[in-house]
Structure 1
């Protein structure tokens, strides 16, 4: 794997960062994962606007320069001989003193990882309730940050079956999110999903689903819901930027059928736009 590291494309096996990088020492870093379809980085603007806002909260000085970012992505595609790719764009605080730093970070570390899309990703999954509860965000809202212990504990509880996705509840018992996904369900032609008040990540694909739902005149309700809502649902699906929109066929004793319902309608719309859009805002 060829990666981008602070201005250079290098072999991933030989890439190095300082042991004093505060992204490594204190978890001060955020990242975005997204897909490139036929050379097009889908919803690039949305991903990097979120990244920029997150870095401001952490006091890390970094600016979204679209032309420069596209040039880096094109160079990495060439170096890795890819047209379709999984990308992780990572910005950490950079080198700092030993101890907690209260000032801004002016020289962050930027690493861009790129690899092929897995040859097989399930189009359908089963959802499994986790006993591990979703932790609360470190600040006012959840960032896509280096703080992944809760996710790792959930994944270890779930196991390695790629056909399963673990579902977190909050400590209050509200439906939160998947280990690496946002959760949606349908009841009586209304689309439901947990509110950001539950402490979940505001996923880019989650936001895009809202845009598609509005375009299709589908009513969306966000709120704090207990687990019974899933057991009473007509359809259920999860979303993330790599797996897209994935049907959940079973949750506990409840099986879901789709039959040209809302999930399949949203999947079709997603497929129609994934090689074209830079931002959900282009759909109005």
Structure 2
């Protein structure tokens, strides 16, 4: 099973998800990145944090002025359970605008696809990390959502590989900490936890929301520079697949021991 050989689609004209061999091109996902996606974890019985995914998706659809059938939202989890019960899966749910056109859309209708593959969990520890030297993030009405226009993260991933790093920390255009390559970032000083405000251009991550919901009184959201982060006792990044502790940022070392308040959030 891989992302390319297990693909399903849901159209306004279909009663349910249908397996497909190919997607029509050209389309607005390819031409303009005109759409959204959610990366979800199915643990054999349910989609983890499914309510958070649905909430973020609905808000993103509203911002992009896209529409999909409510039945597809309500049916997805039960459909996955019906066909894939007992399997640990990574599910990428894409929604892109129907029609072609040029920059100006011709439709509000969203075409949906699912890409399904075996789940790979986040590593518990990432050994070497640093701040990006090439990529800056810019806040916008759509920056909290996972849009198909993900070029900043593509370029960040390339920079991370070129520099031989396990993680890359992204700054906003003013030099403030925003997030990591494919994760939100947190750091702890004593029992106080800090994470960047979404006004710095980061994604409103599902893992981020789970952590904020678990320990709300311990976390301060704000605007922080790299030096604020480097004073921490512990640093970690998170997405829906879990938490990874950062062992080193450049030459500075941080604790990678499991912090008890984070236990069981992603289990």
Q: TM-score, normalised by structure 1?
A: 0.82
Shift of the alpha carbon at 1:249?
Answer: 1.1
Matches within 5 A, 1:183-202: 183-202=185-204
Match of 2:214 in 1: 212
Structure 2 counterparts to residues 107-186 of structure 1, below 5 A? 108-118=110-120, 121-125=122-126, 126-139=128-141, 141-159=143-161, 164-186=166-188
The residue matched to 2:87 in structure 1 has which SS? coil
- What secondary structure is seen at the aligned counterpart in 2 of 1:15? coil
Q: How far has the Cα of 1:152 moved from its partner?
A: 1.0
- 8 Å Cα contact 1:29-1:145 kept in structure 2: yes
| Worse-superposed segment, 159-168 or 197-206 | 159-168
More strand by share: 2
Residue 18 (str. 1) matches residue 48 (str. 2): no
Hey, what's the Cα distance between the residues in 2 that align with 1:22 and 1:112?
17
**CA deviation profile, 1:31-86 (whole Å, cap 9, x unmatched):** 100101132211111101111111111111124444411233235526xxx61100
Structure 2 CA distance for partners of 1:18 and 1:133, relative to 1, 3 Å: closer
Match of 2:220 in 1: 221
1:36 match:
42
Structure 2 stretches lacking a partner, 5+ long: 11-15
Give ranges in structure 1 of 5+ residues lacking alignment: 275-284
Query: What RMSD in Å do the two structures reach over aligned CA positions?
Result: 2.3
Q: Identify if the C-alpha distance between structure 1 residues 140 and 155 changes in structure 2 by more than 3 Å, giving closer, same or farther.
A: closer
CA apart distance, 1:92? 0.4
Q: Cα offset for 1:160?
A: 7.3
Residue number in structure 2 paired with 1:268: 263
Alignment partner, residue 13 of structure 2: none
| Aligned residue number for residue 61 of structure 1 | 67
Q: Please say if residues 144 and 201 of structure 2, whose CA atoms lie closer than 8 Å, have aligned partners that are also in contact.
A: yes
| 1:89 corresponding residue in structure 2 | 93
TM-score, reference length from structure 2: 0.87
Distance in 2, Cα, partners of 1:140 & 1:105: 16
SS in 1 for 2:153: helix
Aligned-pair CA distance for 1:267: 3.5
Aligned match for 1:2, one of 1, 6, 9: 6
Equivalents in 2 of 1:154, 1:227: separation in Å? 17
